[in-house]
Amino acid sequence: MIVKIATSGGFAGIPAAGINKTVDVSSLPPPLQERVCRAFEPPKLKRLEKSGAPDTSVDRFNYAITVTDDAGEVHRYRLEESVLPAELIDLMDEM
């Protein structure tokens, strides 16, 4: 499984200031590997993508997350930061 995370927006509005990382989950230590696989399951991300409530926040990042599963299937999601649980954001920072 490969997870790609890219952001746009933010206070600066500069792509270089945002997050841009690609992680081959198989290269992570086993405990982290398990947490990442659970957190980035496509159905979970799909639910988050559809959960967008009216957002009053400004200057936050918008996330483009691409998950390539072990069968080679590619899943793409566009998520506002406000819908991401704090635990998922912390995990992104840890990856």
Partner 1 sequence: MFRVQGCTCRHDPLQCIIPPHMLRVLSIRAGGEVAKMARSLLDQSEKFRESRSEDAGTVMVPGKALPGAFVAAAMSAPAGLHDLHREIYDGENKAALPGKPVRSEGSPATGDAAVDAAYDNAKIVFDLYSDEFNRNSLDGKGLPLKATVHHRRDFNNAFWNGSQMVYGDGDGVIFRNFLELSVVAHEMSHGVVGFSGGLTYQGQSGALNESFADVFGALAVQRNIGQSAHEADWLIGKGILGPGINGAALRSMRAPGTAYSDGQLGQDPQPYHMDLFVNTSEDNGGVHINSGIPNHAFYLFSVLLGGNAWGAPGHIWYAALQSLNNPFASFADWAAETMEAATGLYGVRSLEFVFLRRAWKLVGISV
How does DSSP assign 26-47, residue by residue?
Answer: GGS-HHHHHHHHHHT-HHHHHH
Q: Does 9 bind partner 1 (CB under 8 A)?
A: yes
From 26-34, 39-47, 66-74, 85-93, span contacting partner 1 (CB under 8 A): 85-93
Amino acid making up residue 16: A
The order of strands in the sheet holding 2-9 is 20-24, 2-9, 61-68, 74-80
Among 24, 42, 70, 89, binds partner 1 (CB under 8 A): 89
Q: Does 27 bind partner 1 (CB under 8 A)?
A: no
Instruction: Tell me the site size for partner 1, rule CB under 8 A.
Output: 25
What is the nearest approach in angstroms of partner 1 to the Cβ of residue 71?
A: 30
